[in-house]
Structures are given as structure tokens and as C-alpha cells.
Chain A
């Protein structure tokens, strides 16, 4: 059973703080993703990684960076948090060995930036 976990369910930070969101998967998946979910906007891709130390920008990368030092862990970094980054953040992973494999999501981190 695939398990994707995220370090926090709820997080409150102040404007200008550096924020780290952590995601860990235990199924040896190559691909990992970070999305943000906002009401009425669906799931929007921020960044993805297809292997260790490899990353590519998604649709809304501005204000974010990522790190993938180990295969099981994918971190999302907000260098200087702003109020418009208040959102639900979802991590996902998938097996790249199958062309049509499912993306498995983590439980989400609800970030509030004050």
C-alpha cells in the first residue's frame, strides 16, 4: 500500500519567513510532485521531480523552490513567505516505470501566512 506522508497537516507562518514543507513516500517512486489547491482553482502544479536532484518547473513556480536529495523525500521551500501563498499544499508520487500509473497524494498541509 503506497504511503505518501507530509510533515505537517497545519502550519502558520509569518510574512517573510522561510518555510519548508516535507514529503516522504515509501514506494520507491521516481516521480514526485508538489501542487497547491485553492477553492475554485483546482490542483495547480508548482514543481515536479523525476529523479534525485532533478527538478522541473510546473505551472506556478514563482516564489517556490524544491529540493530532492533522496529518492523518497521531496521538499517544497518558500524562500520568503507571503500572504498569497496561504493555501493547501499537496504532494504526490508515481511510478515512472508504467506509462499510465496513478499519482498517489499525501494528506496535504494547510499553510496560513499571516
Chain B
């Protein structure tokens, strides 16, 4: 069945360093890949997304890259800050008439040490 694999499950970096989280997806027809951030005790919120017709997208310190051939996409956070500490989820939109359903990865817990 459709699947999204996310790695690593935990990631610890020093403040100011970069962090990279990687995801692979199984359905080659998926065309939308959002990333959600969930701070402790809060709801997941969209931080960036990318469509399949684009290879890279940036928003200040965060960027997402997509390799359709390899079916993987990555989140890059530069100059990490303590407030970046959270669980990050990647997702892929299911193809076909699926009403915008997303398949989520299992999450990456990012800890940024001051």
C-alpha cells in the first residue's frame, strides 16, 4: 500500500547548526508534499509545502527539496534556534480522487541545544 518513510526519528543539533530530515514515498502519482511542525502540547501546523512540478522551495531558514525520480523529499533548516525544537512530520498527498488525503511519516523529534 501507499507509504511514507521518514528518517531520522530523532535528531539533536547544536544551536546554529543545520538540520535535515528525509522522507521517501511509494506512490509515484503523489503530487503534493507538505511538512508540519508540532510543538510540545500543540497542534500540528503547516510550515512549508512543495508541489511535484517544483524541485525546491525556500522560506527564510527552511527549505524543501523534491526528487521525483527517486521519490524522496527533504526538509532543511539552517541556523537552527531553540524554538525549532519540535516534532516534524512529512506527508504526501494520495493520488486519485482521494479528497486531499495525506499519508504522514512517523515524525522526527528535533532537539536544538542552546
Residues of A within 8 A of B (CB): 4, 31, 33, 35, 40-45, 48, 50, 56, 58, 90, 94, 96, 99-103, 105-108
Contacts and interface: CB of A to CB of B under 8 A. Distances in A.
Interface in B5-26: 6, 9
Interface stretch (B44-52, B57-65, B68-76): B44-52
B106 A103 contact: no
A31 B99 CA distance: 7
A107 B106 contact: no
Contact of B100 (A4, A41, A96): A96
Contacts of A35: 104
Given A43-B44, A43-B104, A96-B99, 6 more contacts: A100-B32, A100-B93, A102-B34, A105-B45, A107-B42, A107-B43
Main SS class of interface, B: strand
Contacts of B99: 31, 48, 50, 56, 96
17 contacts: A31-B99, A33-B101, A35-B104, A40-B9, A40-B107, A41-B106, A44-B104, A45-B102, A45-B103, A56-B99, A58-B101, A96-B99, A99-B32, A100-B32, A100-B49, A102-B34, A105-B44
Contacts of A94: 100
Contacts of B44: 43, 90, 105
B106 A40 contact: yes
A61 B34 CA distance: 24
A44 B9 CA distance: 16
